A = this chain, B = another copy of it.
């Protein structure tokens, strides 16, 4: 037995219907559709076959049938066609993303808001992973007799800084010499290669300032890491609007899974090697999300994929629509980010 033309059509109809209504689909419902000229009995036979093939499931004997993960997978891979966004939706997305800001974090939140607002699912955005970005410039600035600022500029135009205390004898000239040494060693290194140990190798040249610089660079490193970890989430409560989460315990589990630090980060990080990814039900690594689907996309800075974002919702997800939205946001965000950096560098 195989998936012939008609079985395919029936399966698609069931999936479409179920995605819209969340109600198990019965044979009579389908046979009544104008574009089906087959009796309910025939459809029942086909549905029985489809169940045997693993594409349909029955919650209980006297209910209709619902698509299995396998069915969604087939749908996503072979049947589904890209939905078309309305002009209003495009405008809304652009309005979110191109609201001027001078903080990267705000841009990320805007993206998350756009995503959750348009899709009505829960949105998450992984901020740019700066590890692959290169160090362009490091500078030590004397702020007062005892304090200095270590400023780091990357080729992505993003800066980080950290305050440090210096021995009170130090002059601006001393610091400049130190800066120069640092630059020589660290320039063009990737952030994740900014090995603190290298400072040690500078030996006597920086003398007693070694410890000082070492701890400053460590602080800088941890700052870069921490902001890279902070996944922006929006629309957590959207899930409560879907009937599959009207059960309190399910809803609670879902919300707690969202909040458990690292969970989303891991997922987005893993997904950030793929232009798009769709993970359905049990395909998810996290067992507590095994009745969810997750769809993600990456965004770029220049040509480099540098972060990812996506939505998480019931397996009964409007995949085609979500994919189109992700695609459009991918485009817009890449653009907005380029804008952002350029504006920042002005």
**A→B interface (CB under 8 Å):** 102-103, 106, 137, 139, 141, 143-144, 147, 149, 151, 153, 159, 161-163, 165, 219, 222-223, 226, 236-237, 240, 246, 248, 251-252, 255-256, 259, 344-346
A246 and B161 CA atoms in complex are apart in Å by: 47
Residues of B within 8 A of A255 (CB): 236-237, 240, 255
A237 is contacted by which of B137, B141, B144, B252 (Cβ under 8 Å)? B252
A248 and B237 CA atoms in complex are apart in Å by: 11
CB of A167, distance to nearest CB on chain B (Å): 12
Q: Can you name 30 A-B residue pairings with CB atoms under 8 Å?
A: A102-B162, A102-B219, A102-B223, A103-B223, A103-B226, A106-B226, A137-B143, A137-B144, A139-B141, A141-B141, A141-B149, A141-B151, A143-B151, A149-B159, A151-B161, A159-B163, A163-B344, A165-B346, A236-B236, A236-B255, A236-B259, A237-B252, A237-B256, A240-B248, A240-B251, A240-B252, A246-B248, A248-B251, A251-B251, A255-B255
Known: A151-B161, A248-B248. 8 other contacts (CB 8 A): A137-B143, A141-B151, A144-B153, A237-B252, A237-B259, A240-B251, A240-B252, A255-B255
Residues of B within 8 A of A252 (CB): 237, 240
A223 and B103 CA atoms in complex are apart in Å by: 8
Closest B-chain residue to A142, C-beta based?
A: B139
The quantity of this chain's copies bound in the complex is: 2
CB of A7, distance to nearest CB on chain B (Å): 38
Residues of B within 8 A of A103 (CB): 223, 226
Closest B-chain residue to A141, C-beta based?
A: B141
Residues of B within 8 A of A256 (CB): 237
Residues of B within 8 A of A237 (CB): 252, 255-256, 259
A269 and B159 CA atoms in complex are apart in Å by: 31
Residues of B within 8 A of A248 (CB): 240, 246, 248, 251
Residues of B within 8 A of A251 (CB): 240, 248, 251
Q: Is the CB of A345 within 8 A of B102?
A: no
Q: Is the CB of B139 within 8 A of A102?
A: no
CB of A125, distance to nearest CB on chain B (Å): 16
Residues of B within 8 A of A144 (CB): 137, 153
A229 and B161 CA atoms in complex are apart in Å by: 22
CB of A225, distance to nearest CB on chain B (Å): 11
A236 and B237 CA atoms in complex are apart in Å by: 11
CB of A146, distance to nearest CB on chain B (Å): 8
CB of A122, distance to nearest CB on chain B (Å): 12
A56 and B1 CA atoms in complex are apart in Å by: 70
Closest B-chain residue to A102, C-beta based?
A: B219
A338 and B246 CA atoms in complex are apart in Å by: 46
CB of A108, distance to nearest CB on chain B (Å): 13
Residues of B within 8 A of A344 (CB): 163
CB of A141, distance to nearest CB on chain B (Å): 5
CB of A221, distance to nearest CB on chain B (Å): 11
A223 and B151 CA atoms in complex are apart in Å by: 18
A120 and B11 CA atoms in complex are apart in Å by: 47
Closest B-chain residue to A149, C-beta based?
A: B151
